[in-house]
Structure 1
Amino acid sequence: MRRHGRETGRDRHRRDRLHDRLRASPAHRPRRTARAEPAPRPLRPHPGRHRLLPSPREASPVTTPTDHTTLTRWVAGLATTRPPGATLPLVCVPHAGGGTATYQTWASTLPEEVTPWPLRLPGRESRRAEPRPLRMEDVVDPAAAALAPHLTEPFALYGHSLGALIAYELAHALRDRFGLEADLLAVSARRAPHLAPSGPPVHHLPDAELVTAVERTYQGMPTAILEDPEILSVYLPVLRADLTVLETYRHRQRPRLRCPVTVFGARDDTTVAESELAAWSDLSAGPTTLRQRDDGGHFFPQSHRTWLTGHLSQDLLRLSVP
Structure 2
Amino acid sequence: MSDTVLFCIPYAGGIAEVTYGKWQKALGENIQVIPLEPAGHGRRMREPFASTIEATALDFLPHIKQAISEGKKYALYAHSMGTLIAYELVKAIIQARLMEPEAMFLSGRLPPNHQYSGPDLHELSDNDLVESLKKVEGSPKDLFVVPALVETFLPIIRSDYRLTETYTFKPPVISICGSIHCFYSDNDSLVNLQDMYEWRHFCRKDFVVHQYSGHHFFINDHYVDICNEIRNALSEAVCI
Indicate the TM-score class for this superposition, using the shorter chain for normalisation: over 0.9
Report the equivalent of 2:127: 208
Q: Which SS does the other structure have where 1:263 is aligned?
A: strand
The one-letter code matched in structure 1 to 2:138 is: G
Report the equivalent of 1:172: 91
Cα displacement (A) at 1:198:
4.9
Tell whether the 8 Å contact from 2:54 to 2:85 is kept in structure 1 after alignment: no
Work out whether 1:136 is the aligned partner of 2:89.
no
- What stretches of structure 2 of length at least 5 have no aligned partner? none
Report the equivalent of 1:199: 118
Work out whether 1:236 is the aligned partner of 2:154.
yes
Report the equivalent of 1:258: 177
Q: Which SS does the other structure have where 1:240 is aligned?
A: helix
Report the equivalent of 1:271: 190
Work out whether 1:222 is the aligned partner of 2:169.
no
Report the equivalent of 2:14: 98
- After superposing the two structures, state which structure 1 stretch, 92-101 or 198-207, moved more: 198-207
Cα displacement (A) at 1:139:
0.5
Tell whether the 8 Å contact from 2:139 to 2:217 is kept in structure 1 after alignment: no
Q: What is the rounded CA distance, in whole Å, between the counterparts of 1:138 and 1:246 in structure 2?
A: 12
Give the TM-score, by structure 1 length: 0.70
Work out whether 1:189 is the aligned partner of 2:108.
yes
Cα offsets for 1:163-191 (capped at 9, x unmatched): 12111221221121142211101101111
- Counterpart pick for 1:111 among 28, 34, 37: 28
Cα displacement (A) at 1:137:
1.7
Cα offsets for 1:93-122 (capped at 9, x unmatched): 011000121211111110321101111111
- Counterpart pick for 1:299 among 210, 214, 217: 217
Q: What is the rounded CA distance, in whole Å, between the counterparts of 1:223 and 1:191 in structure 2?
A: 25
Superposition misfits of 4+ residues, deviation over 6 angstroms: none
Q: What is the rounded CA distance, in whole Å, between the counterparts of 1:221 and 1:179 in structure 2?
A: 36
- Counterpart pick for 1:281 among 184, 193, 200: 200
The one-letter code matched in structure 1 to 2:139 is: M
Give the TM-score, by structure 2 length: 0.93
Q: What is the rounded CA distance, in whole Å, between the counterparts of 1:204 and 1:220 in structure 2?
A: 23
State the identity %.
27
Tell whether the 8 Å contact from 2:40 to 2:49 is kept in structure 1 after alignment: yes
